[in-house]
Structure 1
């Protein structure tokens, strides 16, 4: 009887950890690493009843969906260099659109580079690093990156003109309906190239790390007409809230210059309600277009049988505002900018189709994939492995997630001020500091349990004084230790109940 109980217990626990058996098997797991640009959680699998995203929704049904995943800085270059290095922006000293970790943190071994060093063939199509000239990283890959850069004109599905760099880079309208084929856009070409790469991988036995970076729904919101026609404009909801949070400090807001650069956008003041509806329609259309390209790649992975031995990770580099709080684009510490979609699918995964509310960060992808593939963990990583959540989605791996954003936001300058955002189970606390002296300039506090859309900043409310002090203490402890997990240690001082 006793031995029977032991056998039953062994079967019970081994079923939870079956993906570990796959990782340790003789057949090494491949990685399909899908990065999306500017995608917030407007997806069917995240409860958006408007979004037409069947392919990502299907992936979610076969993987684990992370409902509370966060980027480390809500703009392309710092976010991408952060998750590709497994380190926070402060660790690699990259906060703008021009600095590169190879100069600021030359000891970094990137995620694909680490896999390459351990026998994987690492390949990249599309926007994985920032995607501008000089911002790629040849050292990360086994062969040169492809489609890592495209001219602005290609975002409209149009062909670049030779010798017309100014015209090719010029912003036109912020949204565009066109009778184009999918392959007229960069993402359509990227999907075709990724499919060809999968077929090539299928012909040899070398394990692969394939990174596929789709550009949409990044501005401009240009997509073939058929994707616009998936939506009834009258049913697309207006942004809410349309006003900034009550008592929010001015430093938390910005002028959304990224959108204002398009020819049909106002140079100052708000977007009209009609134009806002068009932009939101365009965002959904571009998202559905991107979803279709993702589906093509996943279909080929399955057709070739490679899905049986390939981890699939799909996520966004940061979120996006579509008129909420009077903001457009990214470049803030609000929940809509910091929160990202994240789905992980592992062969033989027992948590398939489930969701987790655990707080996680994009810096966690590096240690997660190394553990799943049985590779050693490199030193100095700032994230933690999410493997325990694949076994137990109700668990947690850290007490809070951190994001940050500098002010004033300049594309090519070092920060003068920095806002550090701590997202706990219930609260979003933001501390704005002088970046040189660390003197506190302003604070924000939002109760995301009762005020998910961040209507009211509670930081100066007297009844929140103790909570603010405790959150500030925890934040500063984490900033003093830029490497290492954020999970509360057993030998750390026990925090009060307030920050939970």
Structure 2
């Protein structure tokens, strides 16, 4: 201590002794959500995808090769991630239920950061898109651009002036600026907000809508690709022996005016849709790059945890399906990248089985916060130091049939992904009676072309996997030391 006398006033100055380290500043969190993004990215080995900004983030972080959502449709998946609870706890299995109906006092992920002194903000789609899905207690200020109007999806008069349903063309290719669509506006708003909140610990959630249908993107992103060179679906039939419960009629896509109501799509339309998906993905990559570059310009990058995730995967004609809403690998597997200050392993991949429900405890622990009670995921923080250590033996997803309902589903498909297999039981939701089973051997059949659950030689395997499914997620998580 030093005691100084200035003009008769005693001033006490405290200082840190030489060599003593100051406690590190609390890390910020940049929480990037992308809707309907499958692992069709350069950093996941896609040879065609033009995603330089996401690739750059991956080079400074960790790519999780085996990350899975808990239910492959927007509202249930996001409710699960944001509360750290699984769908049967949130009681959200459809697009019309708010998680606070079943869990009115639950503390969401951003809410928990807010309770611990963080300034929490949301731009774009973080929860579900409609206005009723907002959750004001999660944030320090009202959400920005949380609801998408028709003009956010389309810019061309031919699409904007369609009567009836808002669904017009399934794709839109327009010679417009990035900000003409909602995601360009979201990116711009995030860049502007960073300057406002840079001087306090923040949790900034930025949610992008594309590549969700319609596949709308400005002309330059379409020009990145030669449609004739884009990969077409490798397997377009339903899996052999798959139960009808496992499939659907691609209703989400069928509602667009340029898509036939039934039957296979013309080859030209298949190519156009795949081109649109790639273009929309590159458009989102550019928006993500804008936000991260601003973070770097402000000198905040080194003290910010960045996580990029998608709420679920997507079918682009594989299995004869379009969109999501199944328990197949293409719908449940998601891209997940984490880059954190002081992360020991960067530019590497982990094959550990992880789940979106794990993000709540992971981010809380990375920020030095005590984990709250009631979370149903496992912190992935140890994997950031040692990505190859023993980890979960399974990841769990589920999907109901029918899934558009008012109270609760009749049948629930519970799906288990191990290192080698995907096993699914379709159970009567009330009684638990098994109506149908699926088993896919990913060592021999990564495209899930044949359901082998009915084969005699799989009886023992079915018994073991069924028991693992019955034990649930807690039984799949070993003690992490």
Query: TM-score, with normalisation over the residues of structure 2?
Result: 0.93
Match of 1:253 among 247, 251, 256: 247
> Any residues of structure 2 matched to 1:357-368 within 5 Å, and which?
357-368=351-362
Q: Distance in 2 between matches of 1:373 and 1:159?
A: 47
In the other structure, the counterpart of 1:3 is: none
In the other structure, the counterpart of 2:284 is: 290
In the other structure, the counterpart of 2:213 is: 219
Aligned-residue Cα RMSD (Å) equals 1.9
Q: Distance in 2 between matches of 1:121 and 1:168?
A: 41
Kept in 2: contact 1:459–1:468 (CA 8 A): yes
Over 3 Å counting, the alpha-carbon distance change for 1:160 and 1:348 in structure 2 is: farther
In the other structure, the counterpart of 2:275 is: 281
Kept in 2: contact 1:384–1:397 (CA 8 A): no
Q: Distance in 1 between matches of 2:467 and 2:384?
A: 31
Task: Describe the superposition over 1:31-75 as per-residue Cα deviations: whole angstroms up to 9, x where unpaired.
Answer: 000000000000000000010000000100000000000000000
Total equivalences in the alignment: 460
Over 3 Å counting, the alpha-carbon distance change for 1:122 and 1:169 in structure 2 is: farther
Kept in 2: contact 1:153–1:169 (CA 8 A): no
In the other structure, the counterpart of 2:387 is: 393
Match of 2:149 among 148, 151, 176: 151
Task: Describe the superposition over 1:47-104 as per-residue Cα deviations: whole angstroms up to 9, x where unpaired.
Answer: 0001000000010000000000000000000000000000000011110111111111
Which structure's CA Rg is the greater one? 2
Query: TM-score, with normalisation over the residues of structure 1?
Result: 0.89
Kept in 2: contact 1:127–1:148 (CA 8 A): yes
In the other structure, the counterpart of 2:371 is: 377
Matched, 1:317 2:315: no
Q: Distance in 2 between matches of 1:382 and 1:25?
A: 31
Q: Distance in 2 between matches of 1:399 and 1:25?
A: 37
Shift in Å at residue 348 of structure 1?
A: 2.7
Over 3 Å counting, the alpha-carbon distance change for 1:284 and 1:165 in structure 2 is: closer
Task: Describe the superposition over 1:200-239 as per-residue Cα deviations: whole angstroms up to 9, x where unpaired.
Answer: 122x2x2000000000100000101110000001101110
Q: Distance in 1 between matches of 2:195 and 2:421?
A: 46
In the other structure, the counterpart of 2:36 is: 38
Matched, 1:469 2:459: no
Matched, 1:79 2:69: no
Kept in 1: contact 2:151–2:181 (CA 8 A): no
Shift in Å at residue 474 of structure 1?
A: 1.0
Kept in 2: contact 1:71–1:340 (CA 8 A): yes
Over 3 Å counting, the alpha-carbon distance change for 1:304 and 1:169 in structure 2 is: farther
Task: Describe the superposition over 1:135-184 as per-residue Cα deviations: whole angstroms up to 9, x where unpaired.
Answer: 111110000001110123421136999xx999596111101110111000
In the other structure, the counterpart of 2:4 is: none
Matched, 1:446 2:443: no
Over 3 Å counting, the alpha-carbon distance change for 1:171 and 1:435 in structure 2 is: same
Shift in Å at residue 26 of structure 1?
A: 3.2
Q: Distance in 2 between matches of 1:220 and 1:61?
A: 30
Shift in Å at residue 249 of structure 1?
A: 0.6
> Any residues of structure 2 matched to 1:195-234 within 5 Å, and which?
195-202=191-198, 204=199, 206-234=200-228
In the other structure, the counterpart of 1:127 is: 125
Which secondary structure state, in structure 2, belongs to the residue aligned with residue 288 of structure 1? helix
Kept in 2: contact 1:56–1:295 (CA 8 A): yes
In the other structure, the counterpart of 1:487 is: 477
Match of 2:321 among 321, 327, 333: 327
Q: Distance in 2 between matches of 1:307 and 1:28?
A: 13
Task: Describe the superposition over 1:306-360 as per-residue Cα deviations: whole angstroms up to 9, x where unpaired.
Answer: 0010000001000000000000000000000000000000123221100000000
Matched, 1:194 2:184: no
Structure 1: state its 5+ residue gaps: 1-21, 491-500
In the other structure, the counterpart of 1:170 is: 166
Kept in 2: contact 1:384–1:485 (CA 8 A): no
Kept in 1: contact 2:239–2:450 (CA 8 A): yes
Shift in Å at residue 397 of structure 1?
A: 2.9
Over 3 Å counting, the alpha-carbon distance change for 1:104 and 1:355 in structure 2 is: same
Q: Which runs of 4+ in 1 moved over 4 A?
A: 158-161, 164-169
In the other structure, the counterpart of 1:181 is: 177
Q: Distance in 2 between matches of 1:69 and 1:149?
A: 27
Over 3 Å counting, the alpha-carbon distance change for 1:145 and 1:427 in structure 2 is: same
